[in-house]
Amino acid sequence: MRITATGCCLIDVLYREISYAGDAFRRLLSRVPGDGGLIPGGLVLANDLEAFAGRPFPELLYEISGGTEATAVNLGGPAIVALVHAAQLLEKQGVESRFYGIVGDDPLAGQIESFIGETPVQAFFQYMDKSPSPSTVVLADPYALEGKGERSFVHTIGAAEHLAVERFPDDFYDTDILLIGGSALVPPLHAALTPLLKRAKEHGALTIVGTVYDFRSQKRDPKGIWPLGDRDSYRFIDLLVCDEEEALRLSATTRIEDAANRFIDWRVGALVITRGARDYLLWSGGERFLSHEMAMLPVSRWVDDRLAADPSLKGDTTGCGDNFLGGLVASSAMQLPEKPSLREAAAWAAASGGFACFYHGGTYHQKMRGEKRRLLEPIVSSYRRQIGE
């Protein structure tokens, strides 16, 4: 079996002890949608934040962090983190996991390749001279949202502006599952979603798309609908995965149930809409996943109980959504060639997203093959019992 992914791949620079109530952070908060200010839980582009504040980003970061060093530097990005997680869960099952992306001409490119080299993923990169590799500074406040934690992102698109989708080889489409993650942070890919997904479907691939906060569209039209390729792209998506804000902005609705119904009208095959630490929504029309009526499912009680009992176990929430997506991908692969159950996939997703709260950054670095799956299996079993499976 083969899983192929493309989309957002970058270096995450994590600052864990940021106070959103602090003066330095509050001075940089967005006042008007799209103005370039910081957005708790959202993403802003570094050059837009500089324009908003009238100062270079390194100076702003020094003030926000109080001059402290980063907590961690890790591999990040919705596409690569989800694929690495899926590959770690599947590596003893002979699954081939491939990533196609782009890096720049800087030391970060070497870091990205080094991180991926420690995982079961094969990477195929385009290289862009005189352009920085994509990166994100993650500002995490572990005490925000009543102690659940929150993070905000300052992103440098860099080389991702120049990904040449037309240079993907024919072999790119020869895959059982195609995952596209965070395409809004890879503009050429975002624009080419419809033909890319259509071609993958013609080759028989199961197509899974995970979204990301689309700051470019937000800046262009703060009240407008966010595009996902074009409207036709939805009918070539077998499983759409997005968080609540992304779903509402992509659908121009105000309730996730209404967003789901709009995506269904646009002929998406199945969908999951997450809401951070709150219950999430799922639905499947029965085409590539078993049929499932629209329903809300909880996050993992096992994870909540462990963190409540011992707060010292808490890492941060960076990568929870990306690992949730990776859990969906991994479980879908486990269930093929039969039609996958979205409810069973949700068990792996909820466990995966929750487990990311126990370490820093999105990517978990295993000490041995199979380690992450071994750690996740009891959480998955507990979740199945929690939802009555």
Structural domains counted in the chain: 1
Residue 308 placed within a domain: yes
Burial (0-12, 13-18, 19+ Cβ within 10 Å), 37: middle
Sequence-distant (≥ 6) Cβ neighbours of residue 114 within 8 angstroms: none
- pLDDT given for residue 241 in this prediction: 98
How far is it, in rounded angstroms, from Cα 321 to Cα 332?
A: 17
Please give the C-alpha separations between residue 372 and each of 197, 282, 351, 377, 378, in angstroms, as whole numbers: 30, 25, 11, 9, 11
What is the share, in percent, of the chain residues with pLDDT greater than 70?
Answer: 98
Q: pLDDT digits over 125-148, tens only?
A: 999 998 999 999 999 887 777 676
**Is residue 54 in a domain?**
no
pLDDT in tens, 225-276: 999 988 899 999 999 999 999 999 999 999 999 999 999 999 999 999 999 8
Would you state the pLDDT for residue 216?
A: 85
- pLDDT at residue number 5: 98
Measured CA to CA, the distance from residue 140 to residue 318 in angstroms comes to 8
pLDDT tens-digit readout, 36-77: 899 888 888 999 999 999 999 999 999 999 999 898 888 999
Measured in whole angstroms, how far is the alpha carbon of residue 361 from the centre of its chain? 12
- Across the range 377-385, mean pLDDT stands at 96
**Residue 261 belongs to what H/E stretch?**
helix 256-265
Q: Taking 70 as the threshold, does the pLDDT of residue 189 lie above it?
A: yes
* Mean of all residue pLDDT scores within the chain: 93
Cβ atoms of 331 and 347 within 8 Å: the answer is yes
Helix 301-309 crosses helix 342-355 at what angle (to 10 degrees)? Answer: 20
Range(s) of the domain holding residue 377: 2-10+76-133+156-386
pLDDT at 162: 97
Q: Is the pLDDT of residue 316 over 70?
A: no
Pairing of strands 72-76, 10-15: antiparallel
Amino acid at site 220: R
Any domain includes 69 = no
Confidence band, pLDDT 50/70/90 cuts, at residue 314: confident
Confidence band, pLDDT 50/70/90 cuts, at residue 34: confident
Token pair of 197, please? 């997904």
| CATH code for the domain of 281 | 3.40.1190.20
Scan for tokens 């990169």, then name that residue: 125
- Does 31 reside within a domain? no
